[in-house]
Amino acid sequence: TKQYRITLLPGDGIGPEIMAVTVEVLKVVGKQHKIEFAFEEALIGGAAIDATGEPLPAKTLEICRSSDAVLLAAIGGYKWDNLPRQQRPETGLLALRGGLNLFANLRPATILPQLIDASTLKREVVEGVDIMVVRELTGGIYFGQPKGIFETETGEKRGVNTMAYTESEIDRIAKIGFETAQKRRGKLCSVDKANVLDVSQLWRDRVTAMAANYPNVELTHLYVDNAAMQLVRAPKQFDTIVTGNLFGDILSDAAAMLTGSIGMLPSASLGLDGLGVFEPVHGSAPDIAGQDQANPLAQILSAAMMLRYGLNEPEAATKIEQAVIKVLDQGYRTGDIMSAGMKAVGCREMGEVLIKVL
Amino acid sequence: TKQYRITLLPGDGIGPEIMAVTVEVLKVVGKQHKIEFAFEEALIGGAAIDATGEPLPAKTLEICRSSDAVLLAAIGGYKWDNLPRQQRPETGLLALRGGLNLFANLRPATILPQLIDASTLKREVVEGVDIMVVRELTGGIYFGQPKGIFETETGEKRGVNTMAYTESEIDRIAKIGFETAQKRRGKLCSVDKANVLDVSQLWRDRVTAMAANYPNVELTHLYVDNAAMQLVRAPKQFDTIVTGNLFGDILSDAAAMLTGSIGMLPSASLGLDGLGVFEPVHGSAPDIAGQDQANPLAQILSAAMMLRYGLNEPEAATKIEQAVIKVLDQGYRTGDIMSAGMKAVGCREMGEVLIKVL
Ligand SMILES: CC(C)[C@H](C(=O)O)[C@@H](O)C(=O)O
Ligand SMILES: CC(C)[C@H](C(=O)O)[C@@H](O)C(=O)O
């Protein structure tokens, strides 16, 4: 029996509900694959602010560091929206990414045949879409210095942020981009704004130079505005996309929305030393929190990503992924993906039918 | 008879073709409305690089400044893509925007009933979409200092750009945003990334403060990643969007692509002193240049925007806009918007049928 220490960060809104269901699923799969999980819960986001005044207590970071993988649900809510930025839930998330050196964020946008009609795009445009966005997560304008609100000579305020990348920061994420493309369909599209930004020019030069090491990967470049257009115009042209922190934030959300079922999408954030954080793409949905209405499948698929990328347990991961397909085939749907003729279930019941399938 | 001096900047690729057709249209409409145009052509982009070595010769800026309005076609092409940034066509465009203080860029994304099937989105999602993106055009990360590629202490290179806005820069574009919304359906959505960026926090604070002066405008805020999602999910929720330079670049292109017919979309860039530059949203399309295949309608509609916003000649503007609708109703289509059962025409012929309708 293998043993893993998993940190659970349920966070805010629907977080605790979808996390609870996911833990049950992990226990069942663990038994089947001779894996023992030791779960430890820690505070982040609004829940942490309420309990300790800080969105990421030092203790949480410590617990994460001493574990084998971190499963995060979602953070944030109206309640904390008007606090100063240093005390907001999002700041806790950024501190977690920085604190664990999670420089590589993998965000798949795959369209499931069962849910294709949930897309706002025409069936023929999105059928078969399977995009992986590799987003740099600990650099760029999210962390660049100087930043702040300063007073100018004329006495007016000036807000400032700095978009910066060093060669080594670009190289390490580009490497993940090429390797990811290699394991997929061999196409990598690097997205930047090199016709305007110096930082993008350096980005493009480094990515281009690295292509020589990956002769079996076809590298292309797109400006970010054109990439946003192409995602809408012809998303099937994309396999793997690699891009910086801000562009990745925008494009991965646009790509996720193409599928029409953002409640189904997991993500992985990987660090230097093999420690990863796994979380759904969707947010904390405070409007439906505590009502047993949330879709737990993105969280459950995040647990599958954890098994695959974080713990190197691909069989257990596949087991979960296949079970998710099966419950969809059986017609079970939470409210966000409900359509005519399907069986409406709540969060807990979705977990139960999934465990039955397992 | 009124007289206006118009600077023509045909630029590169299909630019000269669509400009030639548009000038013919303007002449006809001018006669009908007792308007005399004195056209003067000047160099920009690749054409200017080839002739003078610079993408925006001082002479061009001078001619623009002494005219009543500037009509620009498109710039850029493969030929100049590998020059150093200072000598690239795009740099000429940025210098024009900076040199003429064109801080407000208006980019409509309207779906025409005749072309609705060209959209990749489902008819019910895009039917009636009518969005105006008000993009700040002379500030933000496009112009912020410091910028460049610097050497760090460890000897590696670091690319840097600065996203910065002062209060007065925010105020003047916010004002255009509110006024535009007021003339439309009274809804303004300000887009930023205030949960992460200091510059966005200042942006949000100023826009929020200004709302008190416009009690009849309903102001909302969205983070840029969410805005990109909402444009795909439910574009009809938007009326007017106001945002910074980079976010506006990305979102206006995504919004344009929702319509499926980017070859139809004009834009206006307005300065402090009433001088405006009017240009299509689409690019220079070097692959079809010189083949009489280009769609001139976005350029022609840009001339209509020039009449309306630049010269205060709304009747002549409306005349052109109605004629465009009419040729579409009559079934004339260039290749980019062609569909079964319609009459295929080239660039020049599209101009001819439009003049017949006028
Ligand atoms: C909540 C926010 C800070 C975060 C980001 O911008 O990275 C979110 O949008 C995401 O994409 O994970
Ligand atoms: C060509 C480029 C510099 C320009 C921009 O980024 O502003 C273009 O994309 C646009 O939107 O007009």
Q: To which H or E segment does residue A341 belong?
A: none
Q: Dihedrals φ, ψ of B269, to 5°?
A: -120, 120
Give the mean pLDDT of A20-48.
Answer: 98
| Ranges of chain B with pLDDT below 50 | none
Residue B133: per-residue pLDDT: 98
Does residue A274 have a pLDDT over 90? no
The model's pLDDT over B214-250, given as tens digits with 9 standing for 90+, comes to 999 999 999 999 999 999 999 999 999 999 999 999 9
Q: Any idea where the domains of chain A sit in the sequence? A: 1-102+271-358, 104-261
CA distances from A128 to A131, A189, A217, A222, A255 (A): 10, 18, 21, 22, 13
Residue B272: per-residue pLDDT: 84
Q: Determine the CATH number of domain A1-102+271-358.
A: 3.40.718.10
The reply to whether domains B1-102+271-358 and B104-261 share a CATH topology is: yes
d(CA B186, CA B342): 37
CB A48 within 8 A of CB A10: no
- Choose between B39 and A81: higher pLDDT: B39
Residue B79: per-residue pLDDT: 92
Residue B32: per-residue pLDDT: 97
Is A336 in the active site? Answer: no
Q: Two tokens at B136?
A: 């700040």
Residue in B85, B91, B94 to alter for ligand 2 test, most ligand atoms within 8 A of Cβ: B94
Average pLDDT of every residue of chain A: 97
Spatial CA neighbour of A127 closest among A115, A138, A143, A142: A115
The model's pLDDT over A187-234, given as tens digits with 9 standing for 90+, comes to 999 999 999 999 999 999 999 999 999 999 999 999 999 999 999 999
Spatial CA neighbour of A106 closest among A264, A305, A254: A305
Q: Two tokens at A192?
A: 């930047």
What is the pTM assigned to this prediction? 0.96
For testing the chain B interface, which of A86, A161, A207 should be mutated: the one with the most B CBs within 10 Å?
Answer: A161
Residue B348: per-residue pLDDT: 98
Q: In the beta sheet, which residues pair with residue B332?
A: B343
The model's pLDDT over A182-193, given as tens digits with 9 standing for 90+, comes to 999 999 999 999
Percent of chain A with pLDDT over 70: 100
Residue B38 CB burial class (10 angstroms; 0-12, 13-18, ≥19): exposed
For testing the chain A interface, which of B131, B135, B172, B195 should be mutated: the one with the most A CBs within 10 Å?
Answer: B195
Residue A257: per-residue pLDDT: 96
Is A214 in the active site? Answer: no
d(CA B23, CA B280): 14
Window A:178-237, CB contacts with B under 8 Å: 193, 195-203, 224-226, 228-229, 231-234
Residue B315: per-residue pLDDT: 97
- Which residues touch B278 (CB under 8 Å, ≥6 apart)? B69, B70, B71, B72, B266, B267, B268, B269, B302, B303, B305, B306, B309, B310
Provide the greatest CA pair distance for chain A. Answer: 68
In words, the CATH class of domain B104-261 is alpha beta
A89 upstream amide cis, omega within 30 of 0? no
Give the mean pLDDT of A115-134.
Answer: 97
Q: In the beta sheet, which residues pair with residue B69?
A: B6
Residue A83: per-residue pLDDT: 87
d(CA A306, CA A8): 12
CB B207 within 8 A of CB B174: yes
Give the mean pLDDT of A294-307.
Answer: 98
Torsion region of B56: left, alpha or beta (phi above 0 gives left; psi -120 to 50 gives alpha): beta
Collapse the DSSP code of A127 into the 3-class scheme (helix H, G, I; strand E, B; otherwise coil) and give the result: coil
